[in-house]
Structure 1
Amino acid sequence: MQMSGMAPEVRGEIKAEVRGIAGGDPAAGEVAGAFAEFMTAFDAFKDANDERLAAIERRTLDPLTLEKLARIDRTLDARKAELDRLTARSQRPPIAGDDSGRPSAAALEHRDAFHGYVRGGGEAGLKTLEAKALSVGSGPDGGYLVPEATEAEIGRRLAVLSPIRALASVRTVSTATYKRPFSVSGPASGWVGETAARPQTASPTLAELAYPAMELYAMPAATQTLLDDAVVDIDAWLADEVETAFAAQEGTAFVTGNGVNKPTGFLAVDVEPEADWEWGKLGYIASGAAGAFAASNPSDRLIDLVYALKAGYRQNASFVMNRRTQAAIRKLKDADGNYLWQPPAIAGGRASLMSFPLAEVEEMPDIGANALAVAFGDFRRGYLVVDRVGVRVLRDPYSAKPYVLFYTTKRVGGGVQDFDAIKLLRFAES
């Protein structure tokens, strides 16, 4: 753990705090140490930013102050990234069997057959299982299904690494397309007297949203020596190799995907001013300046964004933005001089903005002219991720000799399911 650039007394305080929190656990010590460094960097950031604001008021702003603030800001981002990495690593559960931790006999048989296929290319065991139950996997369809425990582990890791997946609703389906009806207009209703006539009401109007599952792939490589090593955990190795590739592709698609051979991102949906909002589009609030926050009272537009969302959605709402937008908002204060952005209260927690959780999503656009750089909403109600059951692996020992390639695929879809649950901040005058 690096603590360069810190005063000796600060390093001593951090190490003492780490020993108290970790209780001798090295993994917990790493996380606690990273969190302590992050909080120290945030305190330094606040001091430097307060100095900048005071200099602006005195009209004596020193370029060295701006350079110092930018340097501390970069340090703060680096500490937060390291903290997130260590926390994610510590939260990975071991690959196991059923809820009791004991795999069933069928699961063990499938796992052993799959390991034989991955290590040596032997397909006999998987073909025998295919003959027993016509749902295990087949070569002509593009490989064999990974064991259920490995598939579940890949899903859990994606939930940690993919911010939108962690916020959204997730449905697992066995068909190519998931269809969800919604009511455009409900049945007519009204008040009547005790003996008054009851006129016939109009029927509700229903429409349908479709979420096709598109194919997502990764192709990790391994040497035959690695595969021959009996100590190597094949399930954990495969999950490690594909998690980052899958998470990166998913993250981009869930935000900006155009729906062509990929999910439809929420920023790909048509938008219009909140005052003119209608179903099928996302409403936005203008920042008050082209490509920037308004010069005076910039935080007012963030308040407008929060209250553009109905109360029922605000209870579970989160802010979504990338780290560069977060760095700009981190400098804003409210009328009482309190910072709008607050660090996580505990290691592994989320930073907050105006008391709402903040998710850092690198695929969100930077602040710029007409950019939709900030989203706010209840993404669990607003966005749906559809996973088709099954992760397949096709072993290829020929294309990149001496390496063995593993063409790994899963099918994923996604799109907005409630257009009233997500609001956007557009950096424009109106």
Structure 2
Amino acid sequence: MSLELKSAASDDVLADLNRAFVAFKDTNEERLAQLETRLGADVVTEEKLQRIDRAIDETKRRLDRVALDLARPRLAGAPREDDAAREHKSAFALYMRAGESAGLKALESKALSAGSGPDGGYLVPTPAEQEILRRLARLSPIRAISSVREISTASLRKARATQGPATGWVAETAARPQTTNQQIVDLTFPAMEIYAMPAATQTLLDDAAVDIEQWIAEEVQTAFAEQEGAAFVGGSGTDRPKGFLSYTTVADASWNWGNIGYIATGVSGGFAASNPSDALFNLVYALRAGYRQNGKFVMNRQTQSTIRKFKSTSGEYLWAPPASLDASATLLNFPVVEAEDMPNVGADSLSVAFGDFVRGYIVVDRLGVRVLRDPYSAKPYVLFYTTKRVGGGVQDFEAIKLMKFGVS
């Protein structure tokens, strides 16, 4: 499909999404009117609202797919390569198609690489690695909104001041009181190994028209994105990144460094019956102004479906569909990021996060994606054991706040 046709398709999907949301609002208004005049809403109206709600979610998924297609140039259109890059690409293609590794061995020996065929596989060419990381940024929701650092060592270490030296105003000739000591913590973010194992037929590998680098990027993107998404949200920090929900959480009034503060809805497993949106405002304003200006909501589709019904005191819906292809849905005028690994609403669940994730969460990529060819384990298919190293964790505990669906 041409770029013009894809752009036209995106406009059509965006229009469908806006029409669906208008229908959603009309049906919800009908439901609310029934609640005011009867003992309960009509079953038919409830079912209609649920169907429209599902249609909004499905249309948003279509919009996301169109946006991804528009942002997916072929590797063949990459900038002109130098001689070394062309040599690596040619040797990598020969290894992938025929299992011939001599060329890659020579290249990696020349580059003093620690990897080898038997124990680590071979580095994919740089354009293919960049394509994989670019696609992950589109598919992995937390990666897309966080700070990302590339490293060449096993871990990233950062020193962060949790309390700076005391400061103040003094007269020109007044005594200067001694300031308190600056408190600095050492943060370490190790890079853990993540893998995928796509399979190919020999017929596909023998087809000269198939772009091998493009194929490997397409095959591993979803597997890597799903594993990353789960780890960045709820990862334990053991053999995988540590998710922001895995840190100790405390009521925001008792917050201190090293913990993540939460705001309670006041109701176990839900919002308050009256003025439920107050909890959202409390969450937003729990964040300091310096972080709030770049704030984003993070929740899954089910939670978003519940919040989509909330209105302001003037009758306006707090949730709004995206205004353009490259925009997000908004809540209280802040972008909404859909992360399906966020928990559903339940007793004491932490189902909504709000914060400046660029300052709050860091994703660490160790340079290099490796591929090990295995033609033996699943004959007649050829398996490609593909690995990369990635880490992550909270780097600023003030920048993220959570909503707890509990009494306190």
- Give TM-score, length-normalised by structure 1: 0.92
| 3-state SS of 1:102 partner | coil
The aligned residue for residue 32 of structure 1 is: 11
Q: What count of residue pairs does the alignment treat as equivalent? A: 407
CA contact 1:219–1:408 (8 Å) conserved in 2:
yes
Provide closer, same or farther for how the CA distance between residues 398 and 24 of structure 1 changes in structure 2, counting only shifts above 3 A: closer
- Give TM-score, length-normalised by structure 2: 0.97
**1:212-237 C-alpha deviation (Å, 9 max, x unpaired):** 00000000000011000000010110
Q: RMSD between aligned alpha carbons?
A: 1.6
CA contact 2:3–2:70 (8 Å) conserved in 1:
no
Partner Cα distance (1:294, 1:258) in 2: 31
| Aligned equivalent of 1:51, options 30, 51, 54 | 30
| Aligned equivalent of 1:73, options 30, 53, 57 | 53
| 3-state SS of 1:400 partner | coil
1:358 is displaced (CA, Å) by 0.3
| Aligned equivalent of 2:371, options 393, 398, 404 | 393
Which residue identity does 2:64 align to in structure 1?
D
1:140 is displaced (CA, Å) by 4.0
Partner Cα distance (2:126, 2:387) in 1: 15
Partner Cα distance (2:137, 2:29) in 1: 37
| 3-state SS of 1:275 partner | helix
1:194 is displaced (CA, Å) by 2.2
Q: Choose 88-97 or 30-39, whichever is displaced more.
A: 88-97
The aligned residue for residue 263 of structure 1 is: 241
- What pairs up with 1:62-141 in 2 under 5 angstroms? 62-95=42-75, 101-135=79-113, 137-141=115-119
CA contact 1:129–1:136 (8 Å) conserved in 2:
no
Partner Cα distance (1:345, 1:150) in 2: 32
Partner Cα distance (1:261, 1:97) in 2: 36
Partner Cα distance (2:55, 2:162) in 1: 49
Q: Choose 73-82 or 183-192, whichever is displaced more.
A: 183-192
| Aligned equivalent of 1:226, options 176, 179, 204 | 204
Which residue identity does 2:17 align to in structure 1?
F
**1:170-193 C-alpha deviation (Å, 9 max, x unpaired):** 000001010111112222333333
**1:47-82 C-alpha deviation (Å, 9 max, x unpaired):** 111100111111252111101111111111111111
1:36 is displaced (CA, Å) by 1.9
1:136 is displaced (CA, Å) by 8.2
CA contact 1:126–1:137 (8 Å) conserved in 2:
no
1:93 is displaced (CA, Å) by 2.3
1:310 is displaced (CA, Å) by 0.5
1:378 is displaced (CA, Å) by 0.3
Partner Cα distance (1:379, 1:418) in 2: 9
- What pairs up with 1:169-180 in 2 under 5 angstroms? 169-180=147-158
